[in-house]
Amino acid sequence: MSTAREYSKEDLKLFDEIKNGRTFKEGEELPETYRKNLLNLLWMQGDSEYAGALGYMPWIAKAPNAHERVLVAQIVKDEMRHAHAIYRILDKLGQETHEHCLKHEFDYRVPDDKSNIGFTRAKTDARVNIFYYPINYWEDFCLFNFLMDRAAGHQLEDTLHSSYIPWKEAIGPIVKEEAMHLAHGDKTVKEMAQNPERKAFLQERLNLWWPRVMNVFGSSKGLSNDIYIRLGLKKRTNGEIREVFLKEIQDRCKEWGLVLPVYREEDQLKA
Q: How many alpha carbons fall within 13 Å on the CB side of residue 140?
A: 18
CA gap 124, 265 in Å, rounded: 23
Whose Cβ is closer to Fe ion: residue 152's or residue 227's? 152
Whose Cβ is closer to Fe ion: residue 125's or residue 178's? 178
Whose Cβ is closer to Fe ion: residue 14's or residue 83's? 83
**DSSP string covering 134-184, please?**
---SHHHHHHHIIIIIHHHHHHHHGGGG-SBHHHHHHHHHHHHHHHHHHHH
Residue 71: how many CB atoms within 10 A of its CB?
A: 19
CA gap 56, 138 in Å, rounded: 10
Whose Cβ is closer to Fe ion: residue 56's or residue 228's? 56
Kindly provide the b/e burial profile for residues 77-96, where b requires at least 16 CB atoms within 10 angstroms of the residue's own CB: ebbbebbebbbebbeebebe
Cβ 158 to Fe ion, closest distance in Å? Answer: 15
Q: Which residue ranges make up the site for Fe ion (CB under 5 A)?
A: 49, 79, 82, 149, 178, 181
Cβ 178 to Fe ion, closest distance in Å? Answer: 5
Whose Cβ is closer to Fe ion: residue 174's or residue 258's? 174
| Residues 157, 161, 167, 172, CA torsion sign | positive
242, amino acid identity: R
Whose Cβ is closer to Fe ion: residue 33's or residue 74's? 74
